[in-house]
Structure 1
Amino acid sequence: MRRTTGHSLRRAGVCCALVLAGTLLPSPARADLFVSTRSELLREVSHHIDITVDRGFATLVVRRTVFNGGRRHDQAAFALDLPPGAAATGLRTLGRLGGRPYWFTGELLERETAAARYLELAGFGDAFPKDPALLSWRSQGQLALQVFPCEPGANKTVEYTLLLPTHYLDGLHRVRLPRLGTSTVASMVKVRAAQPGDTLLVDDSPVRPGTELTFAAAEHMEIAIQPSAQPPITGALAILPLGPSRVLSQARIDIAAKLSTVPARARVVVLIDASRSVTEPAGKGALAAARAYLGHFPDGTAEVMLFDRTVRPMHGKLVPTSKAVEDLASLVIQPGNGSFVDLALDRAASMLA
């Protein structure tokens, strides 16, 4: 390891390697691990996480501080277990520049290049080293973090940023986190909603933005937001080219917890295409869809009309929806020629007039 010079100190000194390496199989969940290189007197003293939940993803800004109680500069090393689906997107270390505290921001590099840069900057000698740190993938679910130098008798703080997807259920964007941190230092968590007006919940209980929580006792924590103004249906599509004729795609559809109010004593006519152009599986699907739809109107009345070249009502009048659903369960479609949907619509309109 070469001596660090004053000239080299003026170069950016934080290396951030985010290149996936190793197995693609997630490892079993476990606590983070912390080790010191030279002395057991280097230890972690605080672990703070600022979580901001948005519609579709959450951002975790993790700040960890170690204290070196030894007499020599030391290196702190972490094995970081990530929440499922998380990806590291940023790295900073807190050092000094011009005699004042200064955050040095990481640079995304190939893994080997980042490792070489870290080795170069984490030197010894009479010149004070710049604040190098190395964040790299070890598996799909684990990162390695190395920080040097940790000065004798002083704190050293490093910060990394994680992004992870939320899942949408019952009108809420949710993120479920396993216990984060080492077995000896529990993480302190501060939660926020990214959009003003969104309701913030922790384990289904509303909390105020900026609420501080701890993983000291809980093994899991679910943080969620309820949008203040949710469109009935929204969606997103992401496409990332990976190479010639290869792309990575992800799609999602979010539906509001309540789309509308079911009208009382509704009168419903269901039209089912019974022509030969409809395959047998599609016909069975139409019957199943009709049963499911009518099940939303328990106090209503309904009629079911099959149509091809002619229109064939099942009952000839509106009957209780429970009766219509029961008869649909045993109905076998006998396909015919033609598909005169206009005639079927006219008959339905006449019955509902």
Structure 2
Amino acid sequence: MLIILSILTVIGFFLKFDFREWLPPADEKLQYLSSQDKNLLENNVQEKILQNKSSQAKNLQDKILQNQGSQDQNLQDENLLEKKFPEKIIHDANVWNSSSQDKNLQNRNITENKGPCGCEKCFSKDDKLLMSSLNHSIEPFLSATTKLSEDIFQWWKVSYYHQNFGRITVGIPVSSFMWPRPDTCRTCAVVGNSVNLKGSGYGSLIDHHNIIIRMNAGPTKGYEEDVGTKTTHHVMYPESAVDLDNSTHLVVFAFKIQDLEWPIKALTTGFYATSYRKVTPKIKANKDLVMVLNPAFMKYVHEVWLKRRGTYPSTGFMALVLALHICDEVHVFGYGADSDGNWSHYFEVLTNKNLKTGPHPGNHEYNILQQLANEKTVQLYKGM
């Protein structure tokens, strides 16, 4: 009996004992470090939350300042335009500005008018010449999947084309292009090189368009007051090539078969083929923003719009028809001959008074442009 009582006493002692007191010193240290790490983690989380809140507040403040600055700049630009041009030129603020306020106005116009585009006036059956000539089934630009019919091969010297076309279209990436949509109003300025731009003061007006198409050797530096500073697309061919900045699309008009090969070599190893005029072997341009006009589109312009007059269309006329295909509103600057009938440029002094339009039907092209202006399909600015 005494033995049993002794055993029960020992068991009771162990049940009351706190075994944590028997933990070795090393385990106590680990337990302390674990608690310390937990506190450190909690502190880091709290600091991260505070940093995120501070960053969000700063981003919100920067956004407010940016919006305020953008609104101030738009107001300054609008005031400048109102002072510089007659009221009839600036007929609607949503034509020129891309601010959020203007976009909301455009969206309201779409909802109320239910038109095919977001502009005040969209192309319609009232544009008789346009509707009788426009053909959206023809792709304006070449791509690796472009297929041309035999008659286009013949129009473009089939043997050379078959030999080189596949290699060329694989070599040049076709720049993505945002086509017009019913919820937008895309305004385009097509800027020619006519001497009538001199003293016009159209520069700020041109720069307010969404797309600004310039052509050939037409410069902006030194002529900003009359022709503007911005360019989104620059049309050229080898003999008229100039350097471009990294944000401008190079749009190649290939009037000759060898012109197809030019963009690849001019942007890499150099183009050294002979031509009727000196060609700059290399140019500066963004190779990812190269676009080559489809020869089918060139043929379509020549046959449908010009009724086969002239050998082929001019750069300026094809740029105009291209704009009619990709824009909602088209505004035309710097087109037409001078008072003597010469097609001089705003950036040069004309020495040959007999200079005409060569293989291009210049007078016929201008008459078509004038008809488009009379039907209010395009807005034509004739300069000074």
Same fold (TM over 0.5): no
Q: What TM-score do the two structures reach when normalised by structure 1?
A: 0.21
Larger radius of gyration: 2
Structure (1/2) with the larger helix percentage: 2
Q: What TM-score do the two structures reach when normalised by structure 2?
A: 0.19
